[in-house]
Structure 1
Amino acid sequence: MEEENQIKLHGMWGSTFTKRVELALKLKGIPYEYIEEDLSNKSQLVLKYNPVHKKVPVIVHNGKPIIESLIILEYIDETWKNSPGCCLMIPMKELKFASGPLFEDMGRVITSDGEAQEKATKDLFEKLTVLEEGMKEFFPGGTPSINGENLGLLDVLMCALFGPYRAHEEVLGMKMIDPERNPLLFSWVMAITELPVVKESPLLMRSSWPLFSLSDRMLFTPLWLDHLIMRQMEFVPCAN
């Protein structure tokens, strides 16, 4: 019976989608076992639990697998409604903006050079401006008020997406989140990443700098970029 009640999270250390699920579990105070997956050589369990797309994250609760991060977040919120430490997390269609186009632009900024990087940077800054304007509705006072008791789904997604931004800025030599250009977004990210539950999480605080070191970037090809984006977009094709 104890084995059935265990929660297991299958993920990959550099996956934004894995990070968001881990943060939700920690905010809810839910104990779990983390299982690192090699996406180039997927385990039989991942192939069993997610036979169609063969992707992570996957959580297994009472022997039941749940796939796709937004669906997992819904499941966590519905299953542990009365757990302290996190408010109800209500998914919205608009959140796909942070899960899709915004992250894709970030990936292209990191992995490209020259004119391609300039275009990707422009696209990213335009989307961040849209996000900044939208945030004014959530924080009319101009300053985000965030603590471990009132985090919601949007906070979880943004933390997973922008948590390692310092490492990315160091590699690129540029400001991705500028306190003058995006004051609300900057304050929001800083407030979230300073929460104890976030700082104490090895997976959440582990940056993806090995993937984006300057020497590695010289080896990136368009094929690798597509592969990287497909991985992070939770749609990893089946390995032959």
Structure 2
Amino acid sequence: MKVLIIEDEQHNAKRLSALLKEIDSDIEILAILESVAESVDWFKYQRQPDLTFMDVRLTDGLSFDIFSQIKVKCSVIFTSAFDEYAIRAFKVNSVDYLLKPVKIEELKESLEKFKTNMAPPYVAQMMDDVSGILRQQQKNYRSRFLLPSKDILYTVLIKDVIYFYTEYRITRAVMADNQSHIVPFTMEELEEQLDPDIFFRVTRQYLLNSSGIVKIVNYFNGKLQILTNPETQEKIVMSRDRSKIFKKWLDR
């Protein structure tokens, strides 16, 4: 079986690839792609795989955007971190899904479902309906945090956060005055809750507000260094592949 993985988080892609190999060593991973644009280019020039795993949200849009630009003939299994309502939408429309983090038992079930129905002809036709549901949900991005402090609660507005960073499994929101607040979410959860037109995850440790970026410096070998105000505790250097996606994100 030839499989394509479309997932912008490398650790998720590597984990999924390892689980697939554990289930069936004959599975061939054709490629791991990170964006809508990269996926469209791949489908234009490469032979269709037997099965594609797609993350719902990619750095440059929803994976459903792929279907509006290129004809995808293979079966698709989506991976997502959306809430129960969105997941029910997948089930009603008979598009299989895996909730992150992917569990090997559920992955096995999805593969069995695929094998018993190799190429459902209606998958592409259902993308508009499911995409509409998810887009409607995504309009309701988080606008604030309600955080505890001793005996009181206080709010932090998302628009005032310059960047988020994680250290020792603790996520902090850094404000324009360089104050930081601990927020009870992982970086993956924040990516699902924040407007992707405003926030971009430049590395595994940092999620930046575009308004806080003051300079982008060419590093070496196609990498980029990002400077923010206030400055980050560590130097932010993006990988070459991530830098390409970042530049497309900025130049929209």
Q: TM-score, normalised by structure 2?
A: 0.28
TM-score, L = length of structure 1:
0.29
Q: Which has the higher strand share?
A: 2
Q: Which structure would you say has the larger Rg?
A: 2
Higher relative contact order (CA 8 A, sep 6+): 1
**Structure ranking higher in helix proportion:** 1
